[in-house]
Structure 1
Amino acid sequence: MNTSALIRPAWTPATIALMVLGFMVFWPLGLAMLAYIIWGDRLDGFKRDVNQATDGFFASCRSKRGRHHRSHHHGRTGNVAFDDWREAELSRIEEERRKLDEAREEFDSYLRELRRAKDQEEFDRFMNERADRKRDSRHEDSEPKPSTGLLDD
């Protein structure tokens, strides 16, 4: 860390001023500045540890995800009969997974078609009702009004 920096985790006039200003503006800011002054020199180690932990975590996630897609590239145990049986079982399971994925895709397609048909039916019903309302309003406008007999002279 550069020890000549103006704001560094140490009791310098700049950090003390920022801490006091932080307490005056909003007390958590002052508290954060105080924590930085006291424990800030440990941030590099903390950051390095967090980076290593997250790199390890995501690397393990990538390797787990890769195992599902490359089921035939497992390590051999040395027992040929067991390895052959395991490969056959993994192939069977992969085939079942493929069939399930196809069935899911077919069902999703069926649901999409069902929704489309329902939407079309609702739209057609709306358009028919709209046309009926227009026809009724035109029919009412064209009918002669009954005479009351008062001003018909």
Structure 2
Amino acid sequence: MNQSALIRPDWTPATIALMVLGFIVFWPLGLAMLAYILFGDKLRAFKKDANEGVDRMCAGFRRHQHRAHWAHHRTGNVAFDDWREAELRRLDEERRKLDEMREEFDAYVRELRRAKDQEEFDRFMRERKNGREGSAPGFEAH
């Protein structure tokens, strides 16, 4: 993301001006700009997660749809039809392997994120503990 962009999801003079102008012209525009300022960074991640979920849900439908589509289209040449069916089975197997690899990679990335979060949390707890040990007697930090 280009951090020097004029209109980014942050409280900048440009976004505030656009929000005020939006409320003046047509209130839903101002509300949309306010939502963009507040939640703009989260929209990209939300869209990615939603798209991946829908893709996973529909992956099985697409595979079955392709099989059904090609199953009833015969050319009359038995050798060609047999070869085509074998190739389609091979491609389905390759697609299945790719889907499994993608799922494994997604799990790997999730585990990396979890490990990073755990490491950051552990560092925070160590720093917090060290900060309390170094504080003045009789003073208790909350």
Q: What's the TM-score, normalizing by structure 2?
A: 0.49
- Which structure: larger Rg? 1
Q: What's the TM-score, normalizing by structure 1?
A: 0.45
